[in-house]
Amino acid sequence: MEQTHIRLIAAELSIKPHQVEATVSLLDEGATVPFISRYRKEATGSLDEVAVTAIRDRLAQLRELDKRREAILTSLEERGLLTDELKAKIETADSMVVLEDIYLPFRPKRRTRATVAREKGLEPLAVRLFAQEDFDTAAEALLFLNSEKGVASAEDALAGARDIIAEWVNEDQKAREQMRGLFTEKGILRSKVITGKEEEGIKYRDYFAWEEPVTKAPSHRVLAIRRGENEGFLAMRIVPPEEEVLPMLEGLFVRGTNASAEQVRLAVQDSYRRLLSSAMETELRLAVKKRADQEAIRVFTENLRQLLLAPPLGQKNVLALDPGFRTGCKVVCLDQQGKLLHNDTIYPHFSDKGVGEAKTKVLDLCKRFNIEAIAIGNGTAGRETETFIKGIGLPVHVQVVMVNESGASIYSASDVAREEFPDLDLTVRGSASIGRRLMDPLAELVKIDPKSIGVGQYQHDVDQTALKASLDDIVISCVNRVGVEVNTASKQLLTYVSGLGPQLAKGVVEYRNEHGPFRTREELKKVPRLGPKAFEQAAGFLRISNAENLLDASAVHPESYHIVSAMAGNNSCTVADLMTSAELRKGINLTQYVNDTIGLPTLTDIMNELAKPGRDPREQFESFSFSEGVSKMEDVHPGMKLPGIVTNITAFGVFVDIGVHQDGLVHISELSDRFVKDAGEVVKVHQKVMVTVTTVDLQRKRIGLSMKSKQAIKDAPAEKMPPKVKTATPKAPLLKKESKPERFANTPFADALRKRTS
């Protein structure tokens, strides 16, 4: 069976069976996806993380199918129902749906109308009718009268027989297969408001009278309608036109026009309306939900990947502020490793005295701790605090950077924060997180539940198990792609390193605290419970700066050190010489070092590492500033051109922070002059963009933006634009066509995303 799975996966992914087989073998041995794709390229034929992950997930599905198959075979055998023909069908079933269809007639059932009819002795009549021979059905039915069992008339007998036939129709594998196809291809998704819930459920008004083919329903709409249904405001159905279903179903079972055939026709119609329709709709709802979940999770994970791989400022002395008005701004000073050196509070927003004291304090702290950058949270009072900081006469070398603080409050109240700063206030912890997030977004964001970072799409409505698995995959991928400095990394960051996990990560930190910094990768083997397998998986992703062996600071795996030494020896130089001399590296003939286990892919990776040992794949940090004088919604007017930062990408558009505590929405139709199907093709999370304001709705706190080069609204300088404010007006019942750019600006999801973390 395993070989069958390997051939199937190879065909589905358009790769060779031996690549799948090698990957499966490595996975079964406990190898991680990053390790396989980075250090086992010869075995897998250089499959990347996407392919390895696809093999892993598909294999898990097929093995789950095998488990269910075995359970069904065991059940049938124990009940004496397993025939050779049935066994062959079960063993060749290629999906869970087909397997369950085969098993359905034999599945132990609760008491049904067909069960009752059989107890009344009406199955022989059902068999006679189902044969559809030409006979007097009423006269035949009279033979089955039984007052004690409740069969008082011929119609009672015929009704019971039809109940049995209806169950046969419902359990017929071919009928279910064709019905499933019809529901999938012709199903219509309809939603309507629950009577009396019009006002209470007004946020779902777009879906009060919605109808579209289910094949065209996008993920965000499906999830929005399902949320409205779960909250009790909407009713949702997904069914095809009945006039297309019944002829197909009758064509499978009805033969002729005699009286018995008419009874079968009635049974088929009853089977569809009472049994098949609801069963198929339930299946389709689950399938559509799964599809919507997959798309929402895809969007979320891609956004998260981009956020985690955002450019780091690097190791700088940072002063970080968590802004506030009444409660003041919490200030922390961090050293180049992110260690908290000092915390204080300033009050620069209410009095001249407070401004003066705050200015003196900040300048003193900058001098005292040799501050190189100032990080300011972008929540409440963020822009006002930025204006204050930029006006106090900072040294020219000090950068001032606004930092997205989404999730900082979640971190500050977490067990992780309490463990790091047990004696400090929540706000101080939050300030430290803001500063560290500027220095290294990846290292800090791994401490926060990804669902709290603010880059998802209906993340609370999708399958939470699937979401967590996908998000964990992305975090693991990003952490191992960048690499981890083992002597400064937190326990949380080390947890995501290939081969470690929470317990070994904790062990690494405890060993480091007790024995001091690691001097070599080999020393990792002294960590309790970190055995050869864990070392093999983790070593290449762990970095040790200033190590005794220069390769310990690179992505070259220790298992390949001997090859680098051989290269150096053959060229009469040192490893350090190879790292610094492009000429020496250029003269190396890689084919000379190919053997049974190491080929050109790995050798090429080694040469790339020698050229740039331990290189960070993330882009270089670039400073960014919002427009001066635009710090609140009232400052924003249609026609303005403003710089912004992409904070979230969804299926219907992109949210952009323009520095007014309220993200604007660039609908997908406004992203480019050309047609855009996927917003991710045009922009990335944390990308700096220039946008034009198209609409401002103060009442509903909505800002419409465009990234097109030509605007429907005539461009004009900001200072000459009259303050136009769009007022919200009640909408008529939803139109079926998406005719307006702001179409999905009215969804509950869009409303939720606009709310900034304060």
* CATH number of domain containing 22: 1.10.10.650
The pLDDT assigned to 449 comes to: 84
CA distances in angstroms from 196 to 184, 201, 202, 233, listed in the order given: 32, 9, 11, 9
Determine the Cα–Cα distance for residues 496 and 477; give it in Å rounded to an integer: 9
Query: Is residue 310 one of the residues assigned to a domain?
Result: no
Last residue of a domain, one of 424, 439, 454: 439
Q: Which of 206, 212, 213 is nearest to 227 (CA)?
A: 206
Asked whether residue 289 falls in the same domain as residue 347, the answer is no
Query: Is residue 518 one of the residues assigned to a domain?
Result: no
Phi, psi of 191 (to 5 degrees): -135, 145
Asked whether residue 190 falls in the same domain as residue 291, the answer is yes
Query: Is residue 582 one of the residues assigned to a domain?
Result: no
Asked whether residue 327 falls in the same domain as residue 299, the answer is no
Query: Is residue 559 one of the residues assigned to a domain?
Result: no
pLDDT block averages, 10 residues each, the chain of length 758: 89 94 94 95 94 95 94 93 92 91 89 93 96 93 91 94 96 93 93 93 91 92 93 94 91 93 96 94 94 91 90 92 91 93 92 91 94 91 90 91 86 88 89 93 89 76 89 93 93 94 94 93 95 95 91 94 93 91 90 89 92 86 85 89 90 89 90 88 89 90 88 40 36 35 40 40
Pair 253, 261: CB distance under 8 Å: no
Q: Which of 198, 127, 195 is nearest to 165 (CA)?
A: 127
Pairing of strands 318-322, 188-193: unpaired
The pLDDT assigned to 752 comes to: 42
Last residue of a domain, one of 394, 422, 439: 439
Pair 521, 485: CB distance under 8 Å: no
Asked whether residue 19 falls in the same domain as residue 101, the answer is yes
Question: Which residues of 584-657 form beta strands (DSSP E)?
Answer: 641-649, 653-657
Asked whether residue 121 falls in the same domain as residue 235, the answer is yes
CATH of the domain at 678: 2.40.50.140
Pairing of strands 188-193, 234-239: antiparallel
Sheet holding 188-193, edge to edge: 209-213, 188-193, 234-239
Q: Which of 119, 239, 242, 115 is nearest to 166 (CA)?
A: 115
Number of domains the chain is built from: 4
Q: Within the chain, how many helices (H) and strands (E) appear?
A: 31, 15
**Contacts of 318 by beta carbon, 8 Å cutoff, 6+ apart:** 333, 334, 371, 372, 373, 374, 375, 435, 436, 438, 439
Query: Is residue 625 one of the residues assigned to a domain?
Result: no
Q: Which of 179, 180, 185 is nearest to 252 (CA)?
A: 179
Range of the domain at 217: 113-303
Asked whether residue 199 falls in the same domain as residue 284, the answer is yes
Query: Is residue 456 one of the residues assigned to a domain?
Result: no
Asked whether residue 262 falls in the same domain as residue 365, the answer is no
Pair 625, 610: CB distance under 8 Å: no
The pLDDT assigned to 264 comes to: 96
Asked whether residue 75 falls in the same domain as residue 127, the answer is no
**Sign (positive or negative) of CA dihedral 530, 534, 538, 539:** positive
Pair 316, 323: CB distance under 8 Å: no
Asked whether residue 122 falls in the same domain as residue 101, the answer is no
SS3 650: coil
Query: Is residue 542 one of the residues assigned to a domain?
Result: no
Last residue of a domain, one of 80, 106, 132: 106
Determine the Cα–Cα distance for residues 317 and 333; give it in Å rounded to an integer: 7
592 exposed, middle or buried (CB, 10 Å; 0-12, 13-18, 19+)?
A: exposed
Phi, psi of 55 (to 5 degrees): -65, -45
Asked whether residue 268 falls in the same domain as residue 411, the answer is no
**Contacts of 150 by beta carbon, 8 Å cutoff, 6+ apart:** 120, 156
Taking the whole predicted model, whether its pTM rises above 0.75 is answered as yes
The pLDDT assigned to 173 comes to: 92
CATH of the domain at 430: 3.30.420.140
The pLDDT assigned to 407 comes to: 80
Pair 357, 324: CB distance under 8 Å: no
The two three-digit tokens of residue 749, written as one number: 């999801």
The pLDDT assigned to 757 comes to: 33
Determine the Cα–Cα distance for residues 477 and 176; give it in Å rounded to an integer: 41
CATH of the domain at 234: 1.10.3500.10
Query: Is residue 326 one of the residues assigned to a domain?
Result: yes
Asked whether residue 373 falls in the same domain as residue 277, the answer is no
Pairing of strands 329-334, 340-346: antiparallel
SS3 246: helix
**Sign (positive or negative) of CA dihedral 94, 96, 98, 100:** positive
Asked whether residue 118 falls in the same domain as residue 256, the answer is yes
The pLDDT assigned to 718 comes to: 41
